[in-house]
Structure 1
Amino acid sequence: MYDLVIIGSGPAGLSAAVYAKRAGFHTLVLEKGAMSGGQVLTTYEVDNYLGMKGMNGFDLGMKFREHADHMGVEFLEAEAVSIEEGTESGVGETAELVACEKTDPCIKPGRRAEAGGDKKGGRIYRIVTNKGDYETRAVLAATGAVHARLHVPGEEELAGMGVSYCATCDGAFFRNRTVAVIGGGDVAVEDAVFLARTSKKVYLIHRRDELRAARILQKKVQELPNVEILWNTVVDEIVGTDRVEKIRIRNTVSGDMEEMEMDGVFIAVGIHPNTELFKGLVECDEKGYIAAGEDGVTTAPGIFAAGDVRTKPLRQIVTAVADGANAVAGVQDYFLQDSF
């Protein structure tokens, strides 16, 4: 029986693992892939993490993992398939578990809070993975979020080498350069406005003839002299060897093709939190993120959330690391509750 199982080994999960180990919790980290670090691994350079100026994202991710290894954190490369909830029937006895129903959208507030175990055994969770089942008294969702892809040639090959999904993270590398932002929603327009502060030229490429962003954002971006909106346009290919050099675009109305020299491409066509595993267990917001505060507490007692998977205003490495620490503090408080 574990005290805490952390699902995900990005900055939030690794930070939580270190803090959990320091707190003396019997902890297991489940990581789906062969490498820890999450999205930071694909970042070409990180220059906004305090004390790590100009560090390659892959190297920073490896440092995070090395720190956790140094603390003696237990890792398992396995994919969590489902989470089952129940209560211990008694000390030393097999836990009696009831599989939670998988509903969509996420569960309404308070439902799981009313279904807790008694003081005799307390609530436990069984994490079912492709390599076996693991029982735990608390679960931390650190599964992150994934950016929607264009699925065009050159996108994956040049990720971190001019192709980015985060203007806030990487915009500073394109000062006085020409960049393209792909998308038409709030995030895309906000990215274009943000990049226009430092980039020489910003092309906002949208596949339709009007933006989906809020009117106030549309007005703001259209007033910027160094931003040009390309309507009814899609990117068919991103071209380059060791960096982005140009893009091939196509007008969806006329069918005309064009090549444009480009230094950077920022893709903002959506982001999807990895919450499938927790549907039916916790409440999510209207965008699908797990509803959890700074302490990581969700609507399901014993289930916590940290990092990009939870509702929050800023998704950065530093906020993910802080989330991990705060969530463990939330776990500590949970263990001290009489109801547990």
Structure 2
Amino acid sequence: MSKEIKDLDLLIIGGGPAGLTAAIYGARAKLSLLLLENQMVGGQVRSSYTIENYPGFKTIEGGALADLMKEQAVELGAEIDEFDSVVSVNLKDEEKLIETKKYIYRTKTLIISTGATPKKIPVPNESKFSSKGIHYCAVCDGAMYEGSTMAVVGGGNSALEEALFLTKFASKVIMIRRYDYFKGEKATLEELEKNPKVEIMYNWDLVNVEGEKFVNKAIIRNTKTNEEKELELEAVFGYIGTEPKTDLFKEFINLDSSGYVITDDRMTTNIKGVYAAGDVRQKPFRQITTAVSDGTIAALAAEKYIEELSRK
């Protein structure tokens, strides 16, 4: 049987802060809209244990913030469909078709807010020990290693925040940092430096992990002397950046060399009526606040575009 075709004013793909904000603004504008998310809405925010840099909340759990955003969007009239995956898209100035496992959507405007996924740790045994000692979400998997020694690889806010979270479970947390500095917030770094469970190893790089069925040691190399040594541990958590989820759109949308969507300051892509917002977009900073800003602008731009279409 052929799939049912549904017509919309606005379709949003991705339910992180950018997508949820766009849904809030689109619903307030009384657009017929749908937000598609192939998992639970919230994006990377949902896996953040504590958020302390979002205005209005001195501290809030990531899942709680995501739930509040979803609740607000739904109460305003936004329709949200979780766990329905997009299987193909056909994007043109004149027509935008998005096919999911259930339906085909024909929409006047589209906001791409699919976000990004963590980059894999570039060591030979990554695939062998994925989820068996190599992980990318401390909130999801940290409790599995209670009382153990764990390592965190990375130098940004995510690495610092997740290392701090892991101290709740670990007997020891080793920060493996290839440079002699961190790029994250100073306040979080200072908190880590004061924590007796944390050891920071500057100028060391992770070379590989080893074990039988599960990780039991890491091999690290000094970036200045090339000295190598082994660390006995049970888990390594990687936070070395992200990769955008843009494979579905690369045939139609202009991307930069790293795969991020190129937009102007109105979140507009190279196709009329198609916008991008949040971590999937090419930009210098990726924070919850910048994602919310992107979602706001994209929804307002989409609303204006629909108004212009109605006048033709």
Give the TM-score, by structure 2 length.
Answer: 0.72
Equivalent in the alignment of 1:15: 21
- State the secondary structure of the residue aligned to 2:291: helix
What is the CA–CA distance in structure 1 between the aligned matches of 2:266 and 2:137, rounded to whole Å? Answer: 36
- Name the Cα RMSD after superposition: 3.6
SS of structure 2 residue aligned to 1:2:
strand
Q: Quote the offset at 1:259 in angstroms.
A: 2.1
Q: Distance in 2 between matches of 1:231 and 1:325?
A: 40
- Of 159, 166, 172, which residue of structure 1 is paired with 2:138? 159
Quick check: 1:249 aligned with 2:211?
no
**Partner SS, residue 277 of structure 1:** coil
Deviates more, 1:312-321 or 1:77-86: 77-86
Aligned equivalent of 1:333, options 260, 282, 304: 304
For the residue of structure 1 that corresponds to 2:138, the secondary structure is coil
* 3-state DSSP of counterpart to 1:5: strand
Corresponding residue for 2:145? Answer: none
- Residue deviations 1:200-255, cap 9 Å, x none? 39xxxxxxxxxxxxxxxxxxxxxxxx752225633458xxxxxxxx9831258998
Alignment partner, residue 80 of structure 1 = 86
Which residue among 236, 239, 244 is the counterpart of 1:267? 239
Match of 1:200 in 2: 193
Count of paired positions: 266
Q: Measured at CA, do residues 200 and 291 of structure 1 come closer, stay the same or move farther in structure 2, by a change above 3 Å?
A: same
Which residue number in structure 1 is paired with residue 113 of structure 2?
A: 142
Asked if 1 retains the 8 angstrom alpha-carbon contact of 2:134 and 2:237, the reply is no
Give the direction of change, closer, same or farther, for the CA distance of 1:248–1:169 in structure 2 (3 Å limit). same
Q: Deviations over 1:20-44 (max 9, x none)?
A: 01111110111111x1101111111
Q: Equivalent residue of 2:89, what SS?
A: strand
Match for 2:13: what amino acid?
A: I
Identical-pair percentage: 31
Which of these residues, 263, 267, 292, is aligned with residue 296 of structure 1? Answer: 267
Instruction: Give the secondary structure class of the aligned counterpart of 2:49.
Output: coil
Cα deviation digits, residues 170-226 of structure 1 (max 9, x gap):
6367499965146x6xxxx5973547752439xxxxxxxxxxxxxxxxxxxxxxxx7
The 3 A distance-change label for structure 1 pair 28 and 232 is closer
Distance 1:145-1:21 versus aligned 2 partners, 3 A rule: same
**What is the TM-score when the length of structure 1 is the normalising length?**
0.67
User: Aligned letter for 1:228?
Assistant: Y
Task: Give the letter aligned to residue 12 of structure 1.
Answer: A
Distance 1:317 1:195 in 2: 15
Unaligned runs of 5+ in 1: 87-115, 117-122, 202-225, 238-245
**Kept in 1: contact 2:176–2:204 (CA 8 A):** no
